[in-house]
């Protein structure tokens, strides 16, 4: 959002070449994340049977993915999304008065939207904490890795084929 407020979205909107560079970097990064999730699920799929890929129980993994690495991956994904930057430029500009102090308005808009997004994402996190108990099995994790990886790869293909 800060990049959008400081004009990066306008630069991306004005420069089709720069937009394409950022877009394709995002496509490749999303495809990489999706492929990594699918490979992780395949690595954990050490029971070979006739059942589906999500049917067998696996041993519990020894370590968890850190919240910091997840936040870092989410940050890079968000920063590499030129469509989000352009959305923020188009959306936020409606709430700014060109005759008033622009820095004060930026501060208010950023603080307000950060609080709202934080509340929404915090609610999602609390809901996920409650749902976590239901999805602790290795089978469920593997299914989520395949599904999540498939969505990321599909999203990168969609992003690659759209303008």
Q: What tokens appear for 66 in the block?
A: 């850190």
* 99, pLDDT greater than 70: yes
pLDDT class for 61, splitting at 50, 70, 90?
very low
Distance CA 94, CA 92 (A): 5
pLDDT tens column, 123-147: 887 888 788 777 777 778 888 889 9
Q: Of 31 and 94, which is predicted with more confidence?
A: 31
Domain ranges for the chain, please list them.
Answer: 2-97+137-161
What is the mean predicted confidence (pLDDT) over 39-55? 62
């Amino acid at each position: 959002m800060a990049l959008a407020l400081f004009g990066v979205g306008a630069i991306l909107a004005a420069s089709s070449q720069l937009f394409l560079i950022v877009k394709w970097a995002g496509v490749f990064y999303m495809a990489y994340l999706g492929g990594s999730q699918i490979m992780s699920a395949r690595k954990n799929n050490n029971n070979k049977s006739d059942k589906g890929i999500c049917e067998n129980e696996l041993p519990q993994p020894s370590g968890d993915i850190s919240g910091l690495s997840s936040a870092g991956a989410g940050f890079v994904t968000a920063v590499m999304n030129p469509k989000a930057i352009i959305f923020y430029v188009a959306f936020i500009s409606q709430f700014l008065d060109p005759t008033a102090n622009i820095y004060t308005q930026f501060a208010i808009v950023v603080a307000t939207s950060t609080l709202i997004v934080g509340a929404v994402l915090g609610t999602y996190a609390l809901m996920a904490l409650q749902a976590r108990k239901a999805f602790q099995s290795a089978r469920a994790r593997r299914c989520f890795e395949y599904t999540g990886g498939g969505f990321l790869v599909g999203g990168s293909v969609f992003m690659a084929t759209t303008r």
